[in-house]
Amino acid sequence: TSQNFYQIKDKLEQLKCHFTWELVINDTEIPELENRVLEQIEFLDTTYKVGIYSLLAYVKHLRGQNEEALKSLKEAEDLTQQEHANQSDMRSLVIWGNYAWLHYHMGQHAEAQIYLDKVKNTCRKLANSSSYRMECPYMDCEEGWALLKCGGSNYERAKVCFEKALEVDPENPEFSTGYAITVYRLESYNKAVRHTGAFCLNTLKQAVRLNPKDAYIKALLALKLQGVGQEAEGEKYIKEALTNASSKIYVFRYTATFYRRKGSLDEALQYLKLALKATPSSVVLHHQMGLCYKSQMIQINKATNWQPKGQDRENINRIIQSAISHFEFAVQEKPTFEFAYIDLAEMYTEAGDHKKAEDAYQKVLCMESLNKYMLQQVHFHYGRFLELKKKSEVDAISHYLKAVKIEKASLARNKSISSLKKLALKKLQRDASDVESLCILELIQKIKGEMNEAPDLLSRFVASKTLALTWNQPKCPSTDEWMKKMWHI
């Protein structure tokens, strides 16, 4: 009856499980997410695999494969009995919640009710709770892992979940590992955040202390040490991680990143190829391969003073094509991979294919829910493309301004400010009374908080009476109208 339907729906919504955690997953990302989860089941040596099977069940459901989802939950249930026999009821609450939801979606309300009763009886027994949920650090931890594995837009919430679990048990190795990985990923996802560097380093050290045999977390610590200028110390941890048999494919991946950043590109490629043999459809690995080839191209260009000829030119052309093929694979498998699109656009530009570069930039610009850091990156790189390759100063200025308008400290924002300043000064050399350029310079001074130093900035133009008169006005005559036009407000 409809009354029973609403009663069961109300109970289901009280559960803590993948169906109620509001995981933000773009539809186009589901195949790649499933591939990543399957890779982790096969190659990630961890004692936390129960949650991975539960997440796989949810992903299978999203793909309309409910029977397959039930099989994954059975795997999770069996693993719980093996690994957590003394806590199996508490550790099974999320699995039972997922079972209840799955049966509900399959129209099997009687089976859904059986699992709802299991959850309710366990909550009553363990927490004296009369509802279908209880506060439990292990459930907070599992929610944290699920959020962490579903991509950047879920990281902040994942961090909160692990913090909540750690408040109850600060020395728990699983909680500590999840928290450290989340903080590390958050910093990478939002690279503008620099002040968390020391904090991130300490959380990783704590996780390594509590998980001395975990090679995966050691490799992350190595990368973090390298990032804060302690490369030699980081390399010690990389070598330690490589001697450990656990999570080998993931350790190879992070080792490759370490050596790419160090400039040892042949070594980086060697580890990436080893990892790709095991996981040939890994989006991350293909992107990393592309980055290595991109770095090789830059190395040859620098060595030839940006004028490669003969064999060097041939090598660069071959390397560019290799980079393109890996970046193309990455965006094909994960159509929301913003950075890979930017890298691909840059390689198309290097290959002289401006139409494909334009298309790649447009795809990122059309993406919904880009974070602020990512938006700045896209506008800056696209602005450079428009300025240097399309020779369109007006359009370039528009995109540099959009990057600057996002008030978030980042390298892309600083470079956009610098590019705007150069373009404005260049235009003023052609026409000292160019209002748009004066407005840009005024804007830059306001951003930098250096209004008193404006005359110094424009000293080379001070001989121009027109310029001096314009600058001495309270503000540029058409700043507001001009800003509205440029920012499409």
Domain boundaries, the chain: 2-248, 391-489
152-175: average pLDDT: 96
The whole-number pLDDT of residue 468 equals 38
Q: List CB contacts of 381: < 8 A, sequence separation 6 or more.
A: 342, 345, 346, 361, 412
**Would you say 443 and 435 are in contact if contact means Cβ atoms under 8 Å apart?**
no
Indicate the range of 25-34, 294-303, 311-320 predicted with least confidence: 25-34
Distance CA 99, CA 73 (A): 7
Length of the chain measured in residues: 489
222-230: average pLDDT: 96
Cβ atoms within 10 Å, residue 427: 17
**C-alpha dist (Å) from residue 320 to 98, 311, 353, 387, 441:** 46, 14, 12, 22, 37
The whole-number pLDDT of residue 370 equals 84
Model confidence over 422-452: pLDDT tens digits? 999 999 999 888 888 888 888 888 887 754 4
Task: Band the pLDDT of 488: cuts 50, 70, 90.
Answer: very low
Q: Is the pLDDT of residue 470 over 80?
A: no
Distance CA 88, CA 106 (A): 26
Distance CA 62, CA 95 (A): 16
Q: Is the pLDDT of residue 73 over 70?
A: yes
Is the CATH number 3.30.470.20 carried by domain 2-248?
A: no
Distance CA 207, CA 173 (A): 7
What is the residue whose two structure tokens read 């540029």? Answer: 476
94-102: average pLDDT: 97
Distance CA 58, CA 94 (A): 11
Q: List CB contacts of 453: < 8 A, sequence separation 6 or more.
A: 445
Q: Is the pLDDT of residue 462 over 90?
A: no
Distance CA 465, CA 145 (A): 65
Q: Is the pLDDT of residue 50 over 50?
A: yes
Distance CA 226, CA 230 (A): 5
Half-sphere exposure of 475 (CA within 13 A, CB side): 10
The whole-number pLDDT of residue 451 equals 42
